[in-house]
Amino acid sequence: MPPATTTLLLSLSLFLLFSASNAHNITRILAKHPEFSTFNHYLTVTHLAAEINRRETITVLALNNAAMSSLLSKQLPFYTLKNVLSLHVLVDYFGSKKLHQITNGTALTSTMFQATGAAPGSSGYINITDLKGGKVGFGAENNDGKLDALYVKAVEELPYNISVLQISQPLNSAEAEAPTAEPSQVNLTAIMSKQGCKAFADLLISSGADATFNQNIDGGLTVFCPTDPVIKDFMPKYKNLTASKKVSLLLYHGIPVYQSMQMLKTNNGIMNTLATDGANKYDFTIQNDGEVVTLETKVVTAKITGTLMDEEPLIVYKINKVLLPTELYKPVEAPAESPKPSKSKHKVVADGPQSDAPAESDPAADQTADNQNGVAGLDGRGLLMVLVSLCIGVSLI
Ligand SMILES: *[C@@H]1O[C@H](CO)[C@@H](O)[C@H](O)[C@H]1NC(C)=O
Ligand SMILES: *[C@@H]1O[C@H](CO)[C@@H](O)[C@H](O)[C@H]1NC(C)=O
Ligand SMILES: *[C@@H]1O[C@H](CO)[C@@H](O)[C@H](O)[C@H]1NC(C)=O
Ligand SMILES: *[C@@H]1O[C@H](CO)[C@@H](O)[C@H](O)[C@H]1NC(C)=O
Ligand SMILES: *[C@@H]1O[C@H](CO)[C@@H](O)[C@H](O)[C@H]1NC(C)=O
Ligand SMILES: *[C@@H]1O[C@H](CO)[C@@H](O)[C@H](O)[C@H]1NC(C)=O
């Protein structure tokens, strides 16, 4: 093995080791404490666990199974329960020491409920107050000054990343417990239609594929919709597909998990899609170069040009190419990508001969795109990954 490659491999493993040891995982932390198993379960199914893991400097006010029973006995709808639980996640670090040393003995601190934007006024704030005899009280800000819960104990503290503190009771909040719209009630095709993806939404409806998308929203769904000009260019090819292949192609544009931009940037790799069915893999590769995220099938490379909506568990991105699966289209043979300069400040990756839309076919999307705009090819990290895979391949032989 050439020394340069060895160094690369070494630094990569160090990088992996390093990043793995830094990340906190609330599910794993709570799993060590069976008395929080119900709370842990609901953090997972509401997707709050992923949100907690993604953030740094966070405090989780954990409820044991008895306290969770009392909360669950209110029989709140799922998304209301999610709001209540998000009120139990403080977006600041409070270790047990800091808790007992609050300046002036009382403080208001913001929660994840406040961060969702769903909380009216300051109802997403928690009052923490040091009480007589070393006690610490917690209450929602507009709860008539009532501090419902008391600090019980520190479950785990990783200063200043995550602190998990047990409190005695669920925090009451009329606002968090108010009825809330369910993401599954959002009309996915209507939203897409209004924001530059009407042609794609119409195809979903006419093919019946929209039902599969809708069924996946509650469990987590990421949609990549090619914008209207892109679909227009693609229509002759689309019409040539059989009805079932049309559905597969459309389902290929959804993945059955919620993937925020941050997650896409850090979880490069192969993704299964809604079209994946056993041996019919229908997968593609997510790749990023700094701020730019691309989706690579072996036929085409599409770029994310904007976020159309993001409300966990549903996120919808705009892309500048129709994703073509190898199950339906012939892979591009020779290395297809060669950077060439473009008229804009971004560099552009040229596609293989079978690509469906010119790289800049969607100026409208580019104008509306935010800082996710730009173009990525196989460089930097991508090149490193290829080198490392080659190297691993060689060492296996
Ligand atoms: C967190 O830990 C749980 C249980 O060990 C595991 O299933 C999950 O994949 C982990 N999440 C991350 C993001 O590593
Ligand atoms: C503490 O109280 C003093 C006097 O009332 C006030 O000036 C100061 O801003 C308070 N500090 C905090 C962090 O609330
Ligand atoms: C917190 O609640 C206590 C008890 O109602 C109250 O005395 C205190 O002023 C509140 N703290 C803040 C910062 O609002
Ligand atoms: C907290 O996170 C930072 C940055 O991710 C990391 O360097 C540090 O080691 C972490 N601390 C603990 C106690 O895990
Ligand atoms: C979604 O909106 C479209 C119009 O944009 C309408 O035709 C369709 O019936 C709506 N679907 C649901 C489930 O409400
Ligand atoms: C559609 O299929 C016909 C017959 O196989 C072929 O000749 C034609 O080129 C195809 N059109 C497109 C746009 O792929």
Domain at 133, CATH number: 2.30.180.10
**What is the Å distance from ligand 3's center to 109 Cα?**
12
Tokens of 114: 């406040």
Same domain, 144 and 235: no
Atom of ligand 4 nearest to the CA of 158: 13
Same domain, 97 and 45: yes
Q: Whose CA is nearest to atom 13 of ligand 4?
A: 158
Whether residue 159 is predicted with pLDDT greater than 90 in this model: the reply is: yes
Q: Whose CA is nearest to atom 5 of ligand 2?
A: 104
Do β-strands 149-158 and 292-296 pair in parallel, antiparallel, or remain unpaired? unpaired
| Ligand 6 proximity of 240 Cβ (cutoff 6 Å) | yes
Q: Which of 132-136, 148-152, 258-262 has the lowest mean pLDDT?
A: 258-262
Q: Whose CA is nearest to atom 13 of ligand 1?
A: 25
386 vs 395: CA distance, rounded Å? 14
Residue that the structure tokens 């009480």 belong to: 131
Same domain, 121 and 69: yes
What type of residue is 123? S
Q: Which of 319, 349, 369 is the last residue of a domain?
A: 319
69 vs 269: CA distance, rounded Å? 40
Same domain, 159 and 241: no
User: Do the domain assignments include residue 68?
Assistant: yes
User: Do the domain assignments include residue 384?
Assistant: no
Which ligand number lies closest to the CA of residue 328? 6
Same domain, 311 and 189: yes
226 vs 203: CA distance, rounded Å? 11
Q: Which of 293, 319, 345 is the last residue of a domain?
A: 319
Torsion of CA 123, 126, 131, 133, to 10 degrees: 140
263 vs 142: CA distance, rounded Å? 34
What is the arithmetic mean of pLDDT over 372-377?
32
Q: Whose CA is nearest to atom 4 of ligand 1?
A: 28
When comparing pLDDT for 119 and 301, which is higher? 301
Q: Whose CA is nearest to atom 7 of ligand 4?
A: 22
Whether residue 4 is predicted with pLDDT greater than 80 in this model: the reply is: no
User: Do the domain assignments include residue 397?
Assistant: no
**What is the Å distance from ligand 3's center to 110 Cα?**
14
The preferred substitution site among 103, 110, 122, 127 for testing ligand 3, maximizing ligand atoms within 8 Å of CB, is: 127
**What is the Å distance from ligand 2's center to 101 Cα?**
14
| Ligand 4 proximity of 158 Cβ (cutoff 6 Å) | yes
User: Do the domain assignments include residue 56?
Assistant: yes
Same domain, 294 and 191: yes
**What is the Å distance from ligand 6's center to 297 Cα?**
21
When comparing pLDDT for 300 and 13, which is higher? 300
DSSP one-letter code for 386: H
**What is the Å distance from ligand 1's center to 50 Cα?**
9
Same domain, 269 and 194: yes
Averaged pLDDT score across all residues of the chain: 81
The pair phi, psi for residue 352, each rounded to 5°, is -65, 175
Which ligand number lies closest to the CA of residue 240? 6
Same domain, 69 and 198: no
Same domain, 29 and 160: yes
175-220 pLDDT, tens digit each: 999 887 666 577 899 989 988 999 999 999 999 999 999 988 888 8
Q: Please say whether the beta carbons of 138 and 61 come within 8 A.
A: yes
Whether residue 82 is predicted with pLDDT greater than 80 in this model: the reply is: yes
Which ligand number lies closest to the CA of residue 101? 2
pLDDT value for 163 = 97
Whether residue 353 is predicted with pLDDT greater than 50 in this model: the reply is: no
330 vs 323: CA distance, rounded Å? 13
DSSP string, 231-298: HHHHHHHHHTS-HHHHHHHHHTTEESS---HHHHHH--EEE--TT-BTTB---EEEEEETTEEEEE-S
pTM (two decimals): 0.54
92-146 pLDDT, tens digit each: 999 999 999 998 999 999 999 987 767 788 899 999 999 999 999 999 998 888 9
User: Do the domain assignments include residue 14?
Assistant: no
User: Do the domain assignments include residue 157?
Assistant: yes
Atom of ligand 2 nearest to the CA of 107: 14
Same domain, 138 and 76: yes
23-53 pLDDT, tens digit each: 899 999 999 999 999 999 999 988 899 889 9
**What is the Å distance from ligand 1's center to 248 Cα?**
30
Domain encompassing residue 260: 183-319
pLDDT band, very low/low/confident/very high, at 335 (cuts 50, 70, 90): low
Q: Please say whether the beta carbons of 317 and 344 come within 8 A.
A: no
Q: Please say whether the beta carbons of 204 and 189 come within 8 A.
A: yes
The total number of structural domains in the chain stands at: 2
User: Do the domain assignments include residue 256?
Assistant: yes
Whether residue 234 is predicted with pLDDT greater than 90 in this model: the reply is: yes
Long-range contact pairs involving 204-208 (C-beta distance under 8 Å, separation at least 24) = 204/250, 207/243, 207/246, 207/247, 207/250, 208/247
Same domain, 110 and 187: no
What type of residue is 105? G
Same domain, 134 and 196: no
**What is the Å distance from ligand 2's center to 107 Cα?**
10
| Ligand 2 proximity of 73 Cβ (cutoff 6 Å) | no
**What is the Å distance from ligand 6's center to 233 Cα?**
14
Q: Which of 286, 319, 352 is the last residue of a domain?
A: 319
**What is the Å distance from ligand 4's center to 19 Cα?**
9
User: Do the domain assignments include residue 306?
Assistant: yes
Tokens of 277: 């069915």
The preferred substitution site among 25, 29, 53 for testing ligand 1, maximizing ligand atoms within 8 Å of CB, is: 25
